[in-house]
């Protein structure tokens, strides 16, 4: 007997569809609405060897913000009626307009700017910066380079790429010594290229205390404080958006460092600081919006020098610098005047897992127990030596920053072995040869999937920065597989 199609459709709607609605959310991760409670139970009941519950939020956060095909397809969709604004406006604040003279703003070539960024850093407090120099730094760090009309408004494209063009990073300036600009705290309103004055006064003492008593801050002309408004990314990417917001901040920070070097200014970057004090100074809550990095900028270079992100000589009398990049206090100070630095902020049950991780990461002084792995967990089929001499680039760093956005259309054209070598050399090797190390060499490893490089077979490689060479792990064509694993994005 021939079945009626209408009856089949009705049976599907009444039986199959409700089952799908019920069981699919049960298999999702933390992207699902209502799944957070189930995640809490799993975390409480799961016994992972060497992991204490309610302590290692970084491990928990990383595990539960992973992508799977199922959670991408069935995850929570953005609320288009509550899309976050990418600009933070202080309606009652005094605004300081900044001039923008792009045509006259030229500096060093890219390779020279990178080399200068890796030189010794120190400041001279005698010469002030001009307002034009501040305007230039802000524009090439995060300024508007294009405008796109979209549903519900205008999208302002910037000199730094951003996941989903959501731009979670905010820039605050703490001014010490700038001509025609009053000392105080300012927020940079990107779309109008103006400064919004939040507070007046000299806050160098608070900054020194917040940056582990680094007295060199008082000699800098101004301090950039980078914050992230996490909801801007989490609105679309949920808990995984926390990852993207930190990566976005890294792009913006590197823009500032390169442009400062291009005009002969010195910078010093801080990732270790007392979060709550900096957040209070800016007037942010530290949860929905929180400071993630500080960069001091100034003129001049002297004999005294403190490495980027580490304590000054005054602080080094009290702290030893661990090889893994963490500040480790001698035992006699653990119960003394630095005891307050070791206190972890109170974790609230109402926080999301990314908020818990961020709150827990405010503890900056501790002794991490990490087993170092010295053996490479892979075999090397062959080693490819890369050239170390490159033609001098005539491209100005400003020209590149104006073009720098998220990748658009890739032409599937090959790059040369020399071009790949130069990219790797400038990204890694210069830091190893400089007078200081920005980070521990064990904190970052680079693996490459080569699809179309002249003179290099397709396959999986590891970059050995010590010898500036590629270690071939496997000769294989992974172009289609990478496309699949990257959620069918055009890579």
pLDDT in tens, 86-104: 999 999 999 999 998 877 7
Domains identified in the chain, total number? 3
In a domain, 37, yes or no: yes
Share of the chain above pLDDT 90, in %: 36
pLDDT, position 349? 64
Long-range contacts of 415-423 (CB under 8 A, 24+ apart): 415/452, 415/453, 415/454, 416/453, 416/454, 416/455, 417/386, 417/387, 417/453, 417/454, 417/455, 417/456, 418/387, 418/390, 420/386, 420/453, 420/456, 421/386, 421/387, 421/388, 421/390, 421/468, 422/390
271 and 405 share a domain?
Answer: no
171 and 36 share a domain?
Answer: no
Hey, what are 231's tokens? 């909801």
Residue in 212, 193, 446 with CA at minimum distance from that of residue 321: 212
Query: Above 70 in pLDDT, residue 441?
Result: no
218 and 182 share a domain?
Answer: yes
Rounded to 10 deg, the angle between the 57-64 and 353-360 helix axes is 150
221 and 328 share a domain?
Answer: yes
At 174, phi and psi to the nearest 5? -110, 110
Q: How far apart are the first and last CA of the chain?
A: 51
Hey, what are 337's tokens? 């005047």
Tens digit of each residue's pLDDT (9 = 90 or more) over 129-144 = 999 999 999 999 999 9
Query: Above 80 in pLDDT, residue 231?
Result: yes
147 and 46 share a domain?
Answer: no
Integer-rounded Cα Rg, in Å, for the chain is: 25
Tens digit of each residue's pLDDT (9 = 90 or more) over 27-75 = 444 444 444 454 444 444 444 444 444 556 777 888 888 888 777 777 6
Cα 99 from Cα 472, distance rounded (Å): 51
Burial 408-431 (b: 16+ CB within 10 A, else e): eeeeeeeeebeebbbebbbebbeb
In a domain, 218, yes or no: yes
171 and 283 share a domain?
Answer: yes
The DSSP output letter for 427 is: I
351 and 392 share a domain?
Answer: no
Is this structure's pTM higher than 0.85? no
Q: Dump the DSSP string for 11-34.
A: HIIIIIHHHHHHHHHHT--TTSTT
pLDDT, position 8? 59
Final residue before a domain boundary, out of 77, 111, 140: 77
In a domain, 387, yes or no: yes
pLDDT, position 319? 28
Beta strands in 299-413 (DSSP E): 320-321, 327-328, 382-385
pLDDT, position 451? 92
58 and 116 share a domain?
Answer: no
Q: Residue 442 is part of a domain; what is its CATH number?
A: 3.40.109.10
148 and 224 share a domain?
Answer: yes
In a domain, 429, yes or no: yes
194 and 259 share a domain?
Answer: yes
Hey, what are 86's tokens? 């990418």
Query: Above 90 in pLDDT, residue 186?
Result: yes
72 and 207 share a domain?
Answer: no
Quick one: how far is CA 461 from the chain centroid? Answer: 25
Tens digit of each residue's pLDDT (9 = 90 or more) over 322-359 = 222 333 333 333 333 333 333 344 566 677 777 777 77
Q: Which residue has the tokens 């900028």?
A: 297
Range from 63-77, 182-196, 386-400 that averages highest in pLDDT: 182-196
Summary mean pLDDT of the chain: 76
Strand partners for 266: 298
In a domain, 82, yes or no: no
For 448-475, what is the mean pLDDT?
93
In a domain, 373, yes or no: no
Q: Please, are residues 261 and 108 in contact by the beta-carbon 8 Å criterion? A: yes
Query: Above 90 in pLDDT, residue 228?
Result: yes
Query: Above 70 in pLDDT, residue 444?
Result: yes
Tens digit of each residue's pLDDT (9 = 90 or more) over 142-180 = 999 988 887 777 889 999 999 989 999 999 999 999 999
Cα 231 from Cα 245, distance rounded (Å): 9
Cα 15 from Cα 406, distance rounded (Å): 45
Q: Supply the range of the domain harboring residue 123.
A: 94-360
In a domain, 216, yes or no: yes
110 and 249 share a domain?
Answer: yes
Q: Please, are residues 160 and 252 in contact by the beta-carbon 8 Å criterion? A: yes
pLDDT, position 125? 66
pLDDT, position 20? 45
In a domain, 49, yes or no: yes
């Amino acid at each position: 007997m021939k079945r009626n199609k209408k009856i089949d459709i009705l049976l599907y709607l009444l039986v199959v569809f409700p089952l799908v609605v019920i069981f699919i959310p049960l298999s999702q991760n933390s992207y699902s609405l209502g799944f957070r409670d189930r995640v809490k139970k799993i975390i409480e009941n799961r016994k992972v060897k060497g992991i204490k519950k309610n302590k290692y939020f970084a491990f928990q956060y990383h595990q539960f913000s992973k992508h799977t095909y199922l959670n991408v397809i069935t995850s929570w969709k953005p609320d288009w009626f509550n899309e976050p604004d990418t600009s933070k406006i202080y309606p009652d604040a005094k605004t300081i307009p900044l001039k923008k003279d792009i045509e006259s703003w030229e500096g060093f070539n890219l390779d020279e700017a990178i080399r200068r960024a890796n030189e010794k850093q120190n400041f001279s407090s005698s010469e002030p910066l001009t307002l034009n120099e501040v305007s230039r730094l802000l524009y090439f760090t995060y300024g508007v380079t294009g405008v796109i009309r979209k549903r519900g408004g205008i999208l302002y494209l910037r000199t730094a790429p951003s996941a989903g063009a959501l731009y979670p990073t905010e820039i605050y300036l703490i001014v010490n010594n700038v001509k025609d600009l009053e000392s105080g705290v300012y927020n940079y309103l990107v779309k109008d290229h103006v400064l919004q004055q939040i507070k007046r006064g000299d806050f160098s003492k608070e900054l020194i205390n917040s940056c582990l008593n680094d007295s060199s801050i008082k000699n800098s002309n101004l301090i950039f404080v980078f914050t992230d408004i996490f909801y801007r990314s989490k609105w679309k990417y949920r808990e995984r958006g926390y990852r993207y917001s930190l990566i976005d901040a890294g792009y913006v920070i590197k823009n500032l460092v390169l442009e400062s070097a291009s005009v002969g200014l010195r910078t010093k970057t801080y990732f270790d600081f007392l979060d709550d004090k900096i957040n209070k100074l800016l007037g942010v809550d530290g949860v929905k919006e929180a400071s993630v990095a500080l960069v001091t900028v100034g003129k001049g270079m002297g004999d005294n020098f403190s490495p980027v992100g580490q304590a000054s000589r005054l602080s080094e009398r009290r702290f030893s610098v661990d090889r893994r990049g963490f500040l480790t206090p001698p035992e006699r100070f653990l119960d003394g005047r630095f005891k307050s630095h070791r206190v972890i902020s109170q974790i609230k049950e109402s926080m999301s897992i990314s908020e818990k991780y961020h709150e827990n990461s405010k503890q900056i002084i501790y002794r991490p127990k990490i087993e170092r792995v010295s053996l490479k967990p892979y075999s090397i089929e062959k080693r490819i030596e890369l050239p170390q001499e490159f033609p001098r680039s005539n491209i100005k760093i400003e020209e590149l920053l104006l073009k720098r956005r998220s990748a658009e259309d890739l032409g599937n054209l090959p790059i040369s072995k020399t071009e790949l070598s130069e990219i790797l050399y400038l990204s890694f090797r210069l830091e190893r040869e400089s007078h200081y190390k920005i980070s521990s060499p064990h904190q970052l490893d680079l693996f490459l999937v080569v699809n179309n490089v002249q003179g290099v077979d397709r396959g999986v490689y590891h970059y050995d920065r010590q010898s500036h060479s590629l270690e071939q792990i496997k000769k294989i064509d992974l172009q289609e597989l990478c496309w699949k694993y990257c959620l069918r994005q055009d890579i």
